[in-house]
Amino acid sequence: MGPERQMLAALVATKHYFEKQTKSQIADELELSRFQVARLLDAAHAEGIVRITVELPSGVDAELSDRLRRRFGLTRALAVVTADDPATRRRQLGKVAADLLGDVVTEDDCLGVAWGRTLGSIPAALTRLATCPVVQLTGVAGSVSENTVELVRQMSAVNGGPATPIYAPFVVADTATARGLRSQSGIARALELHRTVTRAVVGVGSWDPPDSKMHDSLPVEERRALLAKGVQAEVCGTLLNARGGVVGGLEDRCIAIPAELLRQVPEVIAVGGGATKIRAMLAAIRSGLIHGLVTDATAAEELLSLE
């Protein structure tokens, strides 16, 4: 292609891709046929005048993500190529989850936030979030530096929306204590707001193998009894078996959104990864409690092989 034709191809490409003109508009303006415009655009690609690059966010495997979404009927799925180191993996998943929340949360939402070590990596990566209420979905698990109160506070600091924390333990010793806590004004207000949550981000705890703060917080004998009932995973305090069925036993002692309300949330996005979480994530998907998933690529491949 000679320099004059290269110049013309570049001009046509600029008008089409940058100025968003149709081929017919370009043809009329440059006194060319529509066929000539199409040939010039093809030549611009062939000669390297036009180069198209698809940039995927933070190492997301697009093909694997789509397979995961379609296989499990999820509203969205992101399979992220991550490091093997657990701490680095959590930061990488937290970054992708933060970007996702920045994209999907609107000012009309009420955002519910649960607890999880990977969720704890979201605030540091969160640079934009629509101004909306942020409400805590579960009581406090873990230390002050890693609990949901801190998550809610940090996320509301980014979006400037009202924050509603729950200053109570995740699991208490008996139902009477739980009833008393639920009746306290601040906690009661948060629990009532759970009815208005339109989008939620949650973790998935694994019971077999054990990788759950709830599991670790219980006495050994109680853990054994629940494992004997088939508990595989938990989402916001709701215990699940491998088929995704709800296993009773702790719901009256949990300060958390109940399963029946979590099911009413239009979109619940789970975030987590690693080998210990794979069967737990599968149970959560089967339960219907979650609609979206952000996980690492290795876990995504394992999930697809299990189903």
19-33: per-residue pLDDT in tens?
Answer: 999 999 999 999 999
| CA-to-CA separations, 204 to 16, 29, 239, in angstroms, rounded | 47, 58, 10
Average of per-residue pLDDT values in the chain: 93
Q: From CA 68, how far away is CA 84, in angstroms rounded?
A: 20
**Looking at the chain, which residues constitute the CATH 1.10.10 domain(s)?**
3-46
pTM score: 0.82
CATH of domain 57-306: 3.40.50.1360
67-80: per-residue pLDDT in tens?
Answer: 999 999 999 999 99
pLDDT band at residue 51 under the 50/70/90 scheme = confident
77-101: per-residue pLDDT in tens?
Answer: 999 999 999 999 999 999 999 999 9
Q: Does domain 3-46 have CATH number 1.10.10?
A: yes
**Looking at the chain, which residues constitute the CATH 3.40.50.1360 domain(s)?**
57-306
What is the helix (H) or strand (E) element at residue 127, kind and residue range?
A: none
191-236: per-residue pLDDT in tens?
Answer: 999 999 999 999 999 999 999 988 988 999 999 999 999 999 999 9
Q: Which residues contact 154 (CB under 8 A, 6 or more apart)?
A: 123, 126
31-47: per-residue pLDDT in tens?
Answer: 999 999 999 999 999 99
